[in-house]
C-alpha cells in the first residue's frame, strides 16, 4: 500500500495566501513530476479548490466531510484540471464536529489509503478540530506568514506540536504576500529578511525563499468565467511563478528524501495498538469463569466466545470475572431482595420493568456495612446509577439453611457468597461483586477496551464509596 506524503497548509491568520499556495502548489508539483499522483482537498469553507479544478459541473456524491466518517479517499476523488485529483469541498464542515472528537479521526482514514504521491490539505484560519486532524497526519506543514502578527500566531501551532509529541521539524514558515518594493535601512533590507530573522530567532525553520505580493496573482480570482486561474498558466511573467516552482521543488525533494512517511508511522502504531487490544481482550476472555457465576451449571464461556447471557460480574479486587445468565440474576434478585416469586403471573410486568431499568444500573453484592458477626452474616445488594452513584440498597441475613422456609434461590445466594466472597474462616471478606447488564446477544462487548475501561472506572468509584462507608 502506498500512503501519500501529506503536506498541510496552515495558519491561524486569515488571508495570508494559504489557499492560493495549496492550489498552485498542487499544479506545480504535478508539472514537476507528471507521473506522481497529486491530490488536493480543503477544509476551508470557500469553494476555491472546486472553482479552480472542476472540469465539468457535476453533482458529486460525497465531499471532504466523508474523510471524517472513514470513507476511503480513493472513492472520493474527482479528476481535476492540470492532472490534479481533488476531493469536493464542503461549505460547512462544522456539522461534523460532534463525530470528530479526537485529533486522530482523519489519520485513521488516511493511513488506510492508497493515494500514493503527495496529498495537499488546505485548512481554515483556525486551529479547530479539523485543522488539528490534518496537522496530526502531516509530513510537512507550510505556514504562510505575511507580517509580524501572523508570525506571532505560529506559537499556537508549535504548542500543538509539542503537546501532542509531534516533531517540530515538520513545520516550515513561508513568508507570503511580501511586498518586494519595500526596503529598509539596516541589517534586514526587506520584509522577507525581517520575517525570516524573526522566525529563526524564535527557533522556527523556514522554507527557502518567499512568495511575493503580485497584483497579477491577485487578479487571477476575478474574471467573467467565475474561475480561479493558476499562476502556472496565467501568471508566468510574475516573480511568483518562479517562487512557486521553487517551493514545489523543495516539497518534492523533502517527499523524496522521507524514508518513512507519517501515515506509515501512524499505520504501524494503529496496527500494534490493535494487536495489543486483541491480546488484552483475549487475556480477559481467558481469565473468565467458564460457567454462569450464579447457577454454576450453564457453560457460558468457551474458546469460541461467550454464549448469550445477561450480566457481567467482576469482583472489585478484579480476582473474579464471570458472566451470569439473565434468568439466574433475576431469580436470585427477586427471591432474596424483593421477597417475590417472579414466576407468579402478577410479577411478570415487574420483571420486565426491572429488566428495562437494569440497563442503566450497576449492582453490587457485599457484606453489609459494619457487620462482622460470624453467627449472623448480612449481605447487602446495592443498586447504582450509570455514573456509579448509589440509588438504593437492601440488607438481608445470609443463611445457609432455614429448613423448608428457604427456597432454592435463597440457598443459591449462600453458595454464591461462599464461593466468591468468603474468607478462609467462612466469613464475608471486604471484597464485593460488581454486576453490570450487558447486551444479551453481544455480551463480549463489555470486554472491549473502552467498555471495559468504563466498567472499571465505575467499579472503582463504587469501591471507593464502600471504603469510605466502612
Ligand atoms: N502572491 C499573491 N499576491 C497577491 N495577492 C495574493 C497572493 N496570494 C494570495 N493573494 C490574494 O490574497 C487573498 C487571500 O488569499 P488566500 O485566499 O489564498 O488566503 P487564505 O490564507 O487561504 O485566506 P483564508 O484564511 O480566508 O482561507 C486573495 O484575494 C488572494 O487572491
Ligand atoms: Mg483559504
> In the β-sheet with 118-122, what is the strand arrangement from edge to edge?
77-79, 85-87, 38-42, 118-122, 5-9, 140-145, 171-175
The closest of 260, 240, 250, 311 to 24, measured between CA atoms, is 240
Q: How far is the CA of 213 from the centre of ligand 2 (A)?
A: 16
Grid coordinates standing for 439? 447486551
For residues 165, 171, 173 and 174, what is the CA-based torsion angle, rounded to 10 degrees? Answer: -150
Least confident of 76-80, 96-100, 295-299, 404-408: 404-408
Name every protein residue with a CB atom under 6 angstroms from any ligand 1 atom.
14-20, 44, 125, 177, 211, 213-214, 217-218, 221, 240
Rounded Cα–Cα distance for residues 324 and 295 (Å): 8
What ligand is nearest to the CA atom of residue 145?
1
Residue 39: predicted pLDDT: 98
pLDDT of 43 > 90? The answer is yes
The answer to whether residues 131 and 90 touch, using CB atoms and an 8 Å cutoff, is: no
What is the rounded average pLDDT of the residues 12-27?
Answer: 96
What is the rounded average pLDDT of the residues 224-244?
Answer: 94
Q: Which of 19, 50, 89, 192 to mutate to test the pocket of ligand 1 (most atoms within 8 A of CB)?
A: 19
Residue 51: predicted pLDDT: 92
For residues 168, 169, 171 and 172, what is the CA-based torsion angle, rounded to 10 degrees? Answer: 140
- Using the 8-state DSSP alphabet, how is residue 329 labeled? H
Rounded Cα–Cα distance for residues 453 and 280 (Å): 12
What pTM did the predictor assign? 0.78
Q: Domain 5-270: state its class.
A: alpha beta
Rounded Cα–Cα distance for residues 328 and 350 (Å): 16
pLDDT of 105 > 80? The answer is yes
Q: How far is the CA of 46 from the centre of ligand 2 (A)?
A: 7
Angle, helices 154-163 vs 129-137, to 10°: value is: 60
> Which amino acid residue places its CA nearest to atom 16 of ligand 1?
17
The pLDDT-based confidence of 305 (bands split at 50, 70, 90) is: confident
Per residue in 129-160, pLDDT tens? 999 999 999 999 999 999 999 999 999 999 99
Q: How far is the CA of 216 from the centre of ligand 2 (A)?
A: 18
Contacts of 439 (CB under 8 A, 6+ apart): 445
- Residue boundaries of the structural domains of the chain: 5-270, 287-469
Rounded Cα–Cα distance for residues 337 and 332 (Å): 8
Least confident of 29-33, 106-110, 300-304, 362-366: 300-304
Q: How far is the CA of 17 from the centre of ligand 1 (A)?
A: 4
> Which amino acid residue places its CA nearest to atom 15 of ligand 1?
17
The pLDDT-based confidence of 338 (bands split at 50, 70, 90) is: confident
Q: How far is the CA of 48 from the centre of ligand 2 (A)?
A: 8
What is the rounded average pLDDT of the residues 225-244?
Answer: 95
> Which amino acid residue places its CA nearest to atom 8 of ligand 1?
17
What is the rounded average pLDDT of the residues 300-307?
Answer: 87
Residue 101: predicted pLDDT: 93
Grid cell 514545489 in the structure block, residue: 248
The pLDDT-based confidence of 299 (bands split at 50, 70, 90) is: very high
Residue 369: predicted pLDDT: 86
Separation of CA 162 from chain center: 19
Burial of 329 (0-12, 13-18, 19+ CB in 10 A): buried
- Which range scores top for mean pLDDT: 54-58, 183-187, 275-279? 275-279
Q: Which of 8, 9, 11, 15 to mutate to test the pocket of ligand 1 (most atoms within 8 A of CB)?
A: 15
Amino acid at each position: 500500500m502506498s500512503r501519500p506524503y501529506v503536506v498541510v497548509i496552515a495558519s491561524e491568520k486569515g488571508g495570508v495566501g494559504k489557499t492560493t499556495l495549496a492550489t498552485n502548489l498542487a499544479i506545480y508539483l504535478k508539472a514537476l513530476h507528471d507521473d506522481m499522483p497529486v491530490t488536493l482537498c480543503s477544509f476551508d469553507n470557500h469553494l476555491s479548490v472546486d472553482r479552480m479544478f472542476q472540469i465539468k459541473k457535476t453533482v458529486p456524491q460525497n465531499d471532504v466531510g466523508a474523510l471524517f466518517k472513514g470513507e476511503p479517499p480513493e472513492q472520493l476523488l474527482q479528476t481535476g484540471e492540470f492532472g490534479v485529483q481533488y476531493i469536493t469541498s464542503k461549505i460547512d464542515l462544522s456539522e461534523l464536529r460532534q463525530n470528530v472528537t479526537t485529533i486522530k479521526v482523519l489519520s485513521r482514514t488516511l493511513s488506510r489509503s492508497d493515494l500514493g504521491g503527495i496529498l495537499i490539505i488546505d485548512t481554515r484560519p483556525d486551529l479547530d478540530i479539523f485543522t488539528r486532524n490534518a496537522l496530526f497526519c502531516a509530513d510537512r506543514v507550510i505556514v504562510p506568514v505575511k507580517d509580524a502578527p501572523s508570525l506571532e500566531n505560529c506559537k499556537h501551532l508549535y504548542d500543538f506540536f509539542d503537546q501532542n509529541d509531534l516533531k517540530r521539524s515538520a513545520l516550515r514558515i513561508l513568508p507570503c504576500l511580501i511586498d518586494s518594493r519595500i526596503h529598509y535601512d539596516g541589517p534586514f533590507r526587506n520584509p522577507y529578511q525581517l520575517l525570516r530573522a524573526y522566525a529563526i530567532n524564535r527557533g522556527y525553520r523556514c522554507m527557502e525563499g518567499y512568495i511575493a505580493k503580485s497584483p497579477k496573482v491577485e487578479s487571477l480570482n476575478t474574471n467573467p468565467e467565475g474561475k480561479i486561474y493558476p499562476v502556472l498558466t496565467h501568471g508566468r511573467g510574475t516573480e511568483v511563478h518562479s517562487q512557486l516552482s521553487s517551493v514545489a521543488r523543495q516539497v518534492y525533494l523533502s517527499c523524496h528524501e522521507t524514508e518513512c512517511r507519517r501515515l506509515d508511522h501512524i499505520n504501524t502504531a494503529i496496527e500494534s495498538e490493535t494487536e495489543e487490544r486483541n491480546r488484552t481482550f483475549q487475556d480477559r476472555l481467558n481469565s473468565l469463569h467458564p460457567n454462569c457465576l450464579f447457577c454454576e451449571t450453564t457453560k457460558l464461556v468457551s474458546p469460541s466466545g461467550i454464549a448469550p447471557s445477561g450480566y457481567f460480574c467482576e469482583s472489585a479486587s478484579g480476582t473474579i470475572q464471570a458472566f451470569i445468565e439473565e434468568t439466574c440474576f433475576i431469580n436470585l434478585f427477586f427471591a432474596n431482595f424483593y421477597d417475590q416469586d417472579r414466576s407468579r403471573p402478577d410479577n411478570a410486568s415487574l420483571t420486565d420493568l426491572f429488566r428495562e431499568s437494569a440497563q442503566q444500573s450497576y449492582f453490587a453484592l457485599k457484606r453489609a456495612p459494619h457487620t462482622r458477626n460470624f453467627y449472623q452474616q448480612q449481605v447487602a445488594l446495592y443498586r447504582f446509577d450509570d455514573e456509579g452513584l448509589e440509588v438504593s440498597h437492601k440488607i438481608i441475613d445470609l443463611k445457609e439453611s432455614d429448613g423448608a422456609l428457604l427456597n432454592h434461590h435463597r440457598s443459591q445466594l449462600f453458595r454464591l457468597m461462599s464461593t466468591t466472597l468468603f474468607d478462609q474462616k467462612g466469613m464475608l471478606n471486604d471484597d464485593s461483586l460488581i454486576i453490570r447488564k450487558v447486551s444479551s446477544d453481544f455480551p463480549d462487548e463489555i470486554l472491549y477496551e473502552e467498555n471495559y475501561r468504563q466498567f472499571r472506572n465505575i467499579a472503582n468509584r463504587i469501591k471507593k464509596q464502600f471504603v469510605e462507608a466502612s
